[in-house]
């Protein structure tokens, strides 16, 4: 597909963000054809550049998150340096920032100031708690946002102890993805009105969407699921993790009755434990006793080609080597780190809407100063 036909071709994005939420959002924009220009601190740049493990020049994390972008280095604390941004601001379509509220105002780069230069600009602010509210200025990270939004409590075990989550859910699902979606909506609105807008993306706000079941229960009963309660939070033997003889695990989710009966038949679960009237822990223990008698390979063979919703928990390396994911070309794109090609980060953009180049470089710090600033 020619680059000119990509959905965001001709859209210029100024990216003031660092680390994860903003960079993931602007990676999605870049993959859909936008011109993304990172504005970074001189000398050190985005903190992510220094993370481990290191690729050829910068961290592997930074390389993956900034495929196909460009970089200019400016000291935003200096007014003369900020003035050099004015032509880019005037020509930009989107600005993404994730400073705490008030920082861009002190720099004279807040929405009111920027929109006076470019009223068509879509200005997206990503923060943990939003632009206003009692906690707007509070320092926090992904784990804190999930704790504050009640998400951690919903996956607590029988003792009430919540686990460390397996992913940075607030940063990506609560920050990057909503920012991306709202930027696209705002660009569509601009097509109709000719005016940009300020998007206030709160990572903690966005987490409540994931807790629809807890909200539904609270609406009816006034209570939310307690530890190990609820359909997908441990309150049924139909949605559990079971350990095998060789120390591996099965992710078992035969929720619907047809899947449940097939599962019970395949593991030879005695009839009393199949009934929903059976106490949950008794049924879970009975199933666990059966699963523990055989290896993961045995159970994988038993459940193969069966409509049962049970899989062996894969390691990350096993997932990368999956014939299914490989067949879909999930890891076919690459990013050039200055010396070698690395597997690019898969992103949820349809194949026909993405940049067609199989390999793209990431930007060195300040690599594009001359192109955009003349020096």
117 phi and psi, to 5 degrees?
A: -80, -40
The backbone region for 45, taken as left when phi is positive above 0, alpha when psi lies in -120 to 50, beta otherwise, is left
237 contacts 283 by C-beta, under 8 angstroms = yes
Give the three-state DSSP class for 38: strand
Are the beta carbons of 274 and 236 closer than 8 angstroms? no
Three-state SS at 96 = strand
Give Cα 196 to chain centroid, integer Å.
25
**Which residues carry out catalysis?**
141, 171
Counting beta carbons within 10 angstroms of the beta carbon of residue 60, is it exposed (0 to 12), middle (13 to 18) or buried (19 or more)? Answer: middle
Hey, which residues does 243 pair with through a beta bridge? 249
Task: Lay out the sheet containing 341-343: strands in order across.
Answer: 341-343, 334-336, 359-361
Give the long-range contacts of residues 358-361, CB within 8 A, separation 24 or more. 358/332, 358/333, 358/334, 359/333, 359/334, 359/335, 360/67, 360/68, 360/333, 360/334, 360/335, 360/336, 361/67, 361/68, 361/335, 361/336
**Phi/psi at 273 (5° precision):** -85, -10
């Amino acid at each position: 597909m020619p680059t000119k036909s990509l959905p965001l071709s001709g859209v210029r994005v100024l990216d003031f963000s660092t680390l994860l939420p903003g960079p993931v959002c602007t990676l999605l924009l870049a993959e859909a054809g936008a011109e993304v220009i990172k504005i970074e601190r001189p000398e050190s740049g985005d903190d992510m550049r220094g993370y481990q493990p290191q690729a050829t020049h910068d961290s592997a994390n930074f390389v993956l998150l900034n495929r196909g972008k460009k970089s200019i280095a400016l000291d935003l604390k200096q007014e003369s340096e900020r003035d050099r941004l004015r032509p880019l601001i005037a020509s930009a379509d989107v600005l993404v920032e994730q400073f705490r509220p008030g920082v861009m105002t002190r720099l004279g780069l807040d929405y009111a100031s920027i929109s006076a230069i470019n009223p068509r600009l879509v200005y997206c602010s990503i923060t943990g708690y939003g632009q206003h509210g009692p906690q707007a200025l509070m320092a926090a990270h992904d784990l804190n946002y999930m704790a504050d939004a009640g998400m951690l409590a919903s996956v607590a075990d029988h003792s009430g102890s919540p686990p460390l989550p397996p992913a940075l859910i607030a940063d990506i699902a609560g920050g990057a993805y909503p920012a991306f979606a709202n930027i696209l909506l705002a660009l569509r609105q601009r097509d109709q009105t000719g005016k940009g807008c300020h998007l206030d993306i709160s990572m903690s706000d966005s987490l409540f969407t994931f807790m629809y079941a807890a909200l539904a229960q609270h609406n009816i009963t006034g209570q939310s699921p307690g530890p190990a309660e609820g359909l997908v939070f441990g309150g049924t033997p139909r949605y559990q993790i079971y350990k095998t003889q060789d120390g591996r695990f099965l992710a078992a989710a035969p929720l619907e009755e047809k899947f449940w009966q097939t599962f019970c038949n395949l593991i030879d679960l005695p009839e009393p434990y199949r009934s929903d009237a059976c106490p949950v822990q008794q049924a879970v223990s009975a199933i666990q006793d059966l699963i523990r008698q055989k290896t993961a390979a045995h159970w994988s063979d038993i459940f193969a080609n069966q409509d049962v919703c049970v899989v062996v928990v894969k390691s990350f390396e096993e997932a990368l080597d999956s014939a299914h994911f490989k067949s879909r070309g999930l890891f076919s794109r690459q990013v050039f780190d200055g010396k070698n090609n690395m597997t690019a980060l898969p992103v949820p953009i349809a194949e026909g809407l993405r940049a067609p180049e199989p390999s793209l470089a990431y930007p060195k710090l300040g690599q594009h100063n001359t192109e955009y600033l003349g020096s």
